Structure 1
Amino acid sequence: MASRAVLPQNQLKGEVKQKNVLADGRGRRVLQDIGNFVTERAPQGKKSITEVVNAAVGKEKSKVIDKPKKPESVIVISSDDESDESKPVNRKISRKEPNKSFTSVLTARSKAACGLINKPKDLISDIDVTDIDNELAVVEYVDDIYKFYKLTEDEGRVHDYMDAQPEINAKMRSILVDWLTEVHRKFELMPETLYLTVHIVDRFLSKETIQRKELQLVGISAMLIACKYEEIWAPEVNDFVRISDSAYLREQVLAAEKAILRKLEWHLTVPTPYVFLVRYIKASVTSDKEMENMVFFLAELGQMQYPTIVLYCPSMIAASAVYAARCTLNKNPFWTETLKHHTGYSEDQLRNCAKLLVKFHSAAAESKLKAVYKKFSSLDCGAVSLLKPAKSLLS
């Protein structure tokens, strides 16, 4: 606040005297504003009001300093005067718990619901910890999504249908898938497209009887549908006509496409082996590019063979491919608690399917159907098909 001007002492005494007379003659003395600075010293032997107030404040401070306090949950960082360490400390900060993000809370709840937190930490690895800040990874829901995939995979699964096809057999189907693998690589399509193409072919053949000359038409029409579903830039109908040596007209391809979609009731959102492969490779934890290529090599060998598709569901084919790949590359242990948790399969449950995949691997070099073998013998796929098959599973 603004301080008032200090009047000369003789003028001040005159005013005081005049005011005392007006106040019934009572002996009063004007108390100056203690906020003002005193320009003149008080008479000797007497203390000014400012000195009295300062002395009183000093006593109160000494009492506060001498009085012991209960320890508080605070962290002292410095005092008011950094040069004097003996002075009392005033600046303090409170200890607070770090705020947890909404994503981490949902992730913890999801893992608790799955029973993951009840397992020892050294046995099960958190494979989604690096993606916790990646919105596209949806780590809050990924476990529930794959539970739903496993519950619904049997709805689109095909069973033995060759007995209902009088003009085609399992060998013809393998030849078709081998050729579709070459077309898939020629067009440089996404891996999801190949798995969905094979799935559409098998589901359609399980519902509709066809002639032998129509088998290739079903294959290119199924790939056309899969490309429209998975690809950003799908090949045109004329591209499929040319790559089949113009064995079919454009109108025939479009008619076959409509027939397939009607028979499948436009139900194309299904968990193929590829859906599980991506998750199970991630659960392998120590996976690298060689491991990934080996898994896809074995999985594509499996889907080319009719017995694999009929006997085993997509999730088991994917898990068996990971298990067989770890055995082939000598990844010890061959099966971990993390893989068992995320796949839902034990090592014993996968052994038969894995043996079948390894047998396909051992026979791939001598087989007449070499599309998958050649694909994975190239350098861009790590030449994994040239590696020796897993002896532990062949014995």
Structure 2
Amino acid sequence: MTSNESVLPIQQPNRDVKQNNDGQIERRNRRALVDIGNLAPAVVEIGKPTQISRPTTRNFHAQLVENAQGAHEKNVKKSEPNNEETPRRRSKKPSKSLTTVLTARSKAACGIKTKPKDPVVNIDESDINNELAEVEYVEDIYKFYKLSETEGALMDYMNSHSQPDLNAKMRAILIDWLIEVHRKFDLMPESLYLTINVVDRYLSVRRVPRRELQLVGISAMLIACKYEEIWPPEVTDLMAISDNAYPREEILTMEKAILGQLGWYLTVPTPYVFLVRYTKASLPFDNEMENMVFFLTELGLIHYSVIITNNPSKLAASAVYAARCTLKKTPAWTETLKHHTGYYEHELKDCAKSLVAFHDCASETKLKSVYRKYVNPEKGAVALFPPARSLIAEVDGGEQS
């Protein structure tokens, strides 16, 4: 073969081409492509024609039908009740004894009915979409508050000779005056509770002469307002409301001394943080209940014996309990309150008795700042409500017995 000759490709015989007897070429029609049968067979249902997507042999088709019938028989057996076991199950029905029947009839005759247990209500359900409510963390926050109040409990500084120039009556006069100042300046409630907390903490660690007691109160309020208020009162305002008893320099010096002595630790659990939570748990919640709780709490803040014997959470819980008794809420203490406060009813009665006693004589005592504050219609005039004398009688009767 020379290089000029063209190379022809080798042609494979065309199986679809056939020569007839006359020498003419005739072409056969190629069969169309079909499914090669690599798909899983469909589930065969009894009573319906089997649809196979690929050519199958008779043996394979019979096998599919047999498998489908077997699966169908298993499902039928599961759904049908066992006729032999049914009578046995019915025969095992528990029968009541004669004592049970007679007891039930006796209770029905006496009108005794078993009441369902008071359920614990989810008080945060309505705030689930409120980011400021911190619903996901609120339980942990209050567990931390209760732990912190235990660690930072006040020392009995009046009876331990830590303050030889002071007594509980002087402290009551100071707190009563601070409540009045707080009302005149129209400050946030958090500021009042933090002010009293700062005063007690400072007096428990530092001896204060009698003439400087009011100075401690003014400086403590200045600190609390700077911490809580957006627009705190100025030093000149505090000087004016105290009749210029202390110059500006003394107030600022005492402010610095208090902060240094307390280590600038101002994020503390006051009764206010517990009051907000516990009042919310007192259902149904309304303004009358809220005002009554705060009225009773502020009465307790004035008295040294209440502050020193009850931590902030217990004072708040006792105020809620006393308020519910005063407003005749039933029951006086619910499972929801017990869950959120951690206190049982009997643990709160002594403190609640003291708060109700203060309420009973609020209009007659010389220290009337709290009474004047809550006799105002803006506060629901809750100071005019009759006190829960039944609670005092109940506690006194229990002590005598």
Q: TM > 0.5 between the two?
A: yes
Partners of 1:121 and 1:146 in 2: CA distance? 26
Matching residue of 1:268: 266
Contact 1:301/1:357 (8 A) holds in 2: yes
1:385 aligns with 2:383: yes
Partners of 1:142 and 1:364 in 2: CA distance? 35
Change (3 A) 1:122 1:337: closer
Partners of 1:345 and 1:169 in 2: CA distance? 31
Q: Tell me which amino acid in the other structure corresponds to 1:326.
A: R
Q: Tell me which amino acid in the other structure corresponds to 2:234.
A: E
1:349 aligns with 2:340: no
Partners of 1:192 and 1:121 in 2: CA distance? 36
The structure 1 residue matched to 2:134, chosen from 117, 133, 138, is 138
Matching residue of 2:205: 207
1:28 deviates by 3.9
Matching residue of 2:110: none
Matching residue of 1:312: 310
Contact 1:156/1:203 (8 A) holds in 2: no
The structure 1 residue matched to 2:215, chosen from 190, 193, 217, is 217
What are the superposed Cα offsets for residues 22-72 of structure 1, whole Å, 9 maximum, x if unpaired? xx84544779x9xxxxxxxxxxxxxxxxxxxxxxxxxxx9866xx9999xx
Question: Secondary structure at the residue paired with 1:364?
Answer: coil
Q: Tell me which amino acid in the other structure corresponds to 1:350.
A: L
1:168 deviates by 1.7
The correspondence of residues 205-284 of structure 1 with structure 2, limited to 5 A, is 205-284=203-282
1:152 aligns with 2:145: no
The correspondence of residues 1-395 of structure 1 with structure 2, limited to 5 A, is 25-28=24-27, 123-162=119-158, 163-395=161-393
Question: Secondary structure at the residue paired with 1:286?
Answer: coil
1:167 deviates by 1.7
Partners of 1:226 and 1:321 in 2: CA distance? 23
Partners of 1:157 and 1:388 in 2: CA distance? 33
Partners of 2:278 and 2:263 in 1: CA distance? 30
1:141 deviates by 1.2
What are the superposed Cα offsets for residues 321-352 of structure 1, whole Å, 9 maximum, x if unpaired? 00000000001000001100110100000000
Question: Secondary structure at the residue paired with 2:150?
Answer: coil
Partners of 2:303 and 2:389 in 1: CA distance? 21
Partners of 1:142 and 1:190 in 2: CA distance? 22
1:155 deviates by 2.6
Change (3 A) 1:25 1:298: farther
Partners of 2:187 and 2:18 in 1: CA distance? 107
Contact 1:319/1:343 (8 A) holds in 2: yes
- Poorly superposed stretches of 4+, deviation over 6 Å: 67-70
- C-alpha RMSD of matched pairs (Å): 2.6
What are the superposed Cα offsets for residues 203-245 of structure 1, whole Å, 9 maximum, x if unpaired? 1111111111111111010000000111111111111111111
What are the superposed Cα offsets for residues 107-134 of structure 1, whole Å, 9 maximum, x if unpaired? xxxxxxxxxxxxx995100111111111
Partners of 2:25 and 2:127 in 1: CA distance? 86
1:285 deviates by 2.4
Partners of 1:309 and 1:166 in 2: CA distance? 19
What are the superposed Cα offsets for residues 68-91 of structure 1, whole Å, 9 maximum, x if unpaired? 999xxxxxxxxxxxxxxxxxxxxx
Change (3 A) 1:355 1:26: farther
Question: Secondary structure at the residue paired with 1:352?
Answer: helix
Q: Tell me which amino acid in the other structure corresponds to 1:390.
A: A
Work out the percentage of aligned pairs sharing the same amino acid: 63
Contact 2:149/2:269 (8 A) holds in 1: yes
- Mind listing any 5+ residue stretches in structure 1 that lack a counterpart? 1-18, 34-60, 71-119
1:287 deviates by 1.6
Partners of 1:122 and 1:259 in 2: CA distance? 51
Partners of 2:149 and 2:265 in 1: CA distance? 13
Partners of 1:176 and 1:387 in 2: CA distance? 26
Question: Secondary structure at the residue paired with 1:388?
Answer: coil
Partners of 1:256 and 1:321 in 2: CA distance? 33
1:199 deviates by 0.6
